[in-house]
Copies of this chain bind each other. A is one copy, B any other.
Amino acid sequence: MDRTRSGQTAVVSVIGIGSTRYGTLQTSFAELIIEAAVQALDDAGLRPEDIDALYLGNFAGDQFIGQNHLASYAASAIGLQGVPATRVEGACASGSLAIREAAFAIRSGFYKRVLVVGAEKMSTLPTAGVTSMLAQASNKELEVEIGLTFPALFALIAQRHMHRYGTTREQMAAVAVKNHDNALLNPNAHMHKKISMEEVCSCTSMVAEPLNRYDCSLISDGASAMVLCCPQLAADYRNDVVDIIASGQASGPFEIFANDDLTSFSATRLAAASAYEMARIAPGDVDVAEVHDCFTIAEIVATEDLGFFQPGEGGAAAIEGRTRLGGQLPVNTSGGLKAKGHPIGSTGVGQGVEVVTQLRGQAGGRQVPGAAIGLTHNLGGSGGTCAVHIYQRR
């Protein structure tokens, strides 16, 4: 497919980005959202009074910090006065759904400039508590109560992928090693720690076989933000506009047993097909991608479902370095959920921030040279929700 940029109609444009560091932070939820929001506003050269609405992506603030009604709370904290504030939730895809709702609102003509913030404060609970809370994104009665927490769900997926395609322990380890390497180049990443293939493969801290602790994403605090505006106005705010040229969203079976095939997420395939069609590009046109690596196997599956590699070839692609910086298609240059961190509601917005940073050419040591088209892939639950966005440098 031709890669020309002419004739593209942007859905919405990104004129500001901001992000806190991800990690186990002393910062409060309010401080996190303010920091990310102020950065994004500053980056756009706007003040709070220039903003027409706020969208907040957040998964479970009511349980993590005992505070609900968080969009209005955030609007007050940030100093947005009077403007509509709406929280959007779609499990781990909450951030991307917030971006999509903001895009709809702008395209509908109701707003011109919208602030999107994704945020989650998770370190308030011990790990077991977080695991229980995340498990609420799967079916309580039919999955959680028989022990299917998320590590267990993705362990089933990994087992099946290994059985069907011969995916190996080493291939999954390659994802973890790469994402840790990338995170070393990202000052905002949660984990700055180089790991080796041997460490990952020989780790005996099993979480859910075959996934050990190196296969699992991090429990992080963090907030990321974007200022979106209607494409016609974007050039008034900055020279290096990045457009969102496609937004795809789909649902998949809510329960894992309702999937025909455990090695692929139908929601990813549907959302990606919709996004590629809207952007009029093919998977091979993508220069840089942030995908939902909640577990190492999830990145392998995502790179297959997104059409970057054939089904069953994602593992080989990872271990051959095709998704590394300098490879055919650098994936999770930020460090991904695995090493950048995974503050649930923030993740989708953070993925967008990374892609915009890449398309602006501001990614420093992790820059993908000449990146013009970027993709984000954000998954909720065990595939119940997926959102795919495609970004393009103007």
Interface residues of A (CB under 8 A from B): 53-54, 59-60, 62-63, 65-73, 75-77, 80-91, 97, 100-101, 103-105, 107-110, 133, 136-140, 247, 249-255, 258, 266-267, 270, 380-381, 384-385
Contact = CB atoms under 8 A, between A and B. Distances in A.
Contact of A138 (B69, B103, B270): B69
Contact of A89 (B75, B89, B104): B89
A198 B98 CA distance: 49
Q: Which of A73, A253, A255, A384 has the most CB of B within 10 A?
A: A73
B258 A68 contact: no
A69 B266 CA distance: 17
A72 B254 contact: yes
Contacts of A380: 69, 72
Contacts of A254: 69, 72-73, 75-77
A390 to B, nearest CB: 15
Contacts of A107: 104, 107-110
7 contacts: A53-B249, A75-B251, A77-B254, A82-B252, A82-B267, A84-B250, A86-B90
- Secondary structure call for the A interface: mixed
A76 B90 CA distance: 14
A66 B136 contact: yes
A76 B255 contact: yes
Given A72-B251, A73-B254, A104-B105, 10 more contacts: A60-B62, A69-B89, A69-B380, A75-B251, A76-B258, A84-B249, A85-B90, A86-B88, A86-B100, A107-B110
A143 B355 CA distance: 40
A81 B251 CA distance: 7
A97 B66 CA distance: 22
Given A97-B86, A251-B83, A72 B385 contact: yes
A140 B77 CA distance: 14
A93 to B, nearest CB: 9
A80 B138 contact: no
Instruction: Please list the 4 inter-chain residue pairs (A to B) with the smallest Cβ-Cβ separation, ordered nearest first.
Output: A72-B384, A107-B108, A68-B136, A76-B254
Given A84-B249, A104-B110, A139 B381 contact: no
A130 to B, nearest CB: 13
Given A103-B108, A108-B108, A250-B82, A68 B59 contact: yes
Nearest to A75: B251
Contact of A101 (B66, B101, B247): B101
A267 B80 CA distance: 13
Nearest to A12: B108
A249 B137 CA distance: 29
A200 B187 CA distance: 62
A68 B137 contact: yes
Contacts of A267: 82
Contacts of A252: 72, 82
A86 B101 contact: yes
Nearest to A252: B82
A88 B86 CA distance: 7
Q: Which of A71, A77, A140 has the most CB of B within 10 A?
A: A71
Nearest to A80: B251
A198 to B, nearest CB: 37
A102 to B, nearest CB: 9
Nearest to A30: B141
A84 B103 CA distance: 15
